[in-house]
């Protein structure tokens, strides 16, 4: 059953006529909220797997209709954003394809792109006779989950990857870039495999490092957590992310994450050796190099 609510006034240039959000958790709800607030879509429809979530979504002002199946939500859409866990994205993309018009764009928000894009591309050949798939990955999120945690401001100033293969029509790529830019993202386009190498180092490895530190501390006296300062909270915040979701991400990007881990182990070993050998010059060099890099990290609004 579809729920209806009047759309808010448009605040910016319309990029797509109908936007469909499949699996509106934190990211999906935020996409819809931002698209509504900034006027990026004339109509916004959603599908959620669980009936109780669909009931919760129906009265919300950032969607015009809530549908019981992915096919219903995707039918006739200009742009479909799949916000499910990475292991579920290919099946959903295949499921909705028959309902999409020629020229429709399907994208996702998954943090792994190479193998995922190749699997989906088999069902979405880049020609003018059917819909197109082009991967996306906005570098935005939180340790929080669920549509209630969504916010229209989530993408402001955040990097977003758009990852077309070489055969993708330039006009479709441009539409997707304009859509994410309308939501506030700073968009970069690149090959899916290059994306996976980068995020293995700047996203997946930090999560693993934080998770391993918390795993180590979980074996110590539990009272220690009450003695920690803000540094531990800052360093380990991302470890509060959904373990099941992150298991899927790490498995999907296994090869690149393993390469990043080997490099990180080398860096840890270098620090270990400098400390063990009382090599203060090397220890200082590592600490100064790390400070210089961190001090140039772009602030997030």
Over residues 18-53, the pLDDT tens digits come to 999 999 989 999 999 999 999 999 999 999 999 999
Q: Return the minimum-mean-pLDDT range out of 125-134, 154-163, 200-209.
A: 125-134
Over residues 145-178, the pLDDT tens digits come to 788 888 999 999 999 999 999 999 999 999 999 9
Select the more confidently predicted residue: 142 or 228.
Answer: 228
Give the mean pLDDT of the chain.
Answer: 92
- pLDDT of 211 reads 97
Q: Determine the average pLDDT of the residues in 202-212.
A: 97
Q: Determine the average pLDDT of the residues in 233-242.
A: 93
Q: Which domains does the chain have, with CATH numbers?
A: 16-190 (3.40.50.720), 195-295 (1.10.3660.10)
- pLDDT of 33 reads 96
In the 3-class helix/strand/coil scheme, how is the chain assigned residue by residue? CCCCCCCCCCCCCCCEEEEEEECCCHHHHHHHHHHHHHCCEEEEEEECCCHHHHHHHCCCCCCCEEECCHHHHHCCCCEEEECCCHHHHHHHHHHHHHHCCCCCEEEECCCCCHHHHHHHHCCCCCCCCCCEECEEEECCCCCCCCHHHCCCCCCCCCEEEEECCCCCCHHHHHHHHHHHHHCCCEEEECCHHHHHHHHHHHHHHHHHHHHHHHHHHCCCCHHHHHHCCHHHHHHHHHHHCCHHHHHHHHHHCHHHHHHHHHHHHHHHHHHHHHHHCCCHHHHHHHHHHHHHHHHCCCCCC
Residue 128 has pLDDT above 90, yes or no: no
């Amino acid at each position: 059953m579809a729920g209806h609510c009047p759309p808010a006034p448009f605040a910016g240039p319309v990029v797509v006529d109908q936007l469909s959000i499949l699996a509106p958790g934190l990211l999906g709800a935020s996409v819809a909220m931002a698209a509504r607030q900034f006027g990026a879509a004339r109509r916004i429809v959603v599908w959620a797997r669980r009936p109780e979530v669909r009931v919760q979504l129906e009265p919300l002002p950032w969607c015009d209709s809530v549908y019981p199946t992915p096919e219903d939500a995707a039918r006739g859409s200009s742009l479909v954003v799949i916000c499910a866990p990475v292991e579920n994205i290919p099946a959903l993309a295949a499921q909705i394809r028959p309902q999409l018009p020629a020229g429709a764009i399907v994208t996702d928000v998954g943090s792994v792109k190479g193998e995922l894009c190749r699997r989906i591309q088999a069902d979405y050949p880049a020609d003018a006779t059917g819909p197109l798939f082009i991967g996306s990955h906005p570098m935005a999120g939180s340790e929080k989950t669920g549509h209630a945690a969504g916010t229209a401001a989530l993408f402001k100033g955040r990097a977003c990857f758009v990852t077309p293969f070489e055969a993708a029509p330039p006009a479709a790529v441009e539409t997707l870039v304009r859509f994410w830019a309308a939501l506030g993202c700073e968009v970069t386009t690149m090959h899916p495999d290059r994306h996976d190498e980068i995020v293995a180092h700047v996203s997946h490895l930090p999560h693993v490092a934080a998770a391993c530190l918390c795993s180590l501390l979980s074996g110590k006296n539990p009272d220690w957590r009450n003695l920690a300062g803000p540094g531990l909270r800052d360093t380990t915040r991302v470890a509060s992310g959904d373990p099941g979701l992150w298991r899927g991400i790490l498995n999907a990007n296994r090869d690149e994450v393993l390469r990043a881990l080997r490099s990180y182990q080398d860096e840890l070993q270098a620090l270990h050796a400098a400390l063990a050998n009382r090599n203060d010059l090397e220890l200082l060099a590592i600490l100064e190099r790390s400070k210089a890099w961190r001090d140039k990290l772009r602030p997030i609004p």
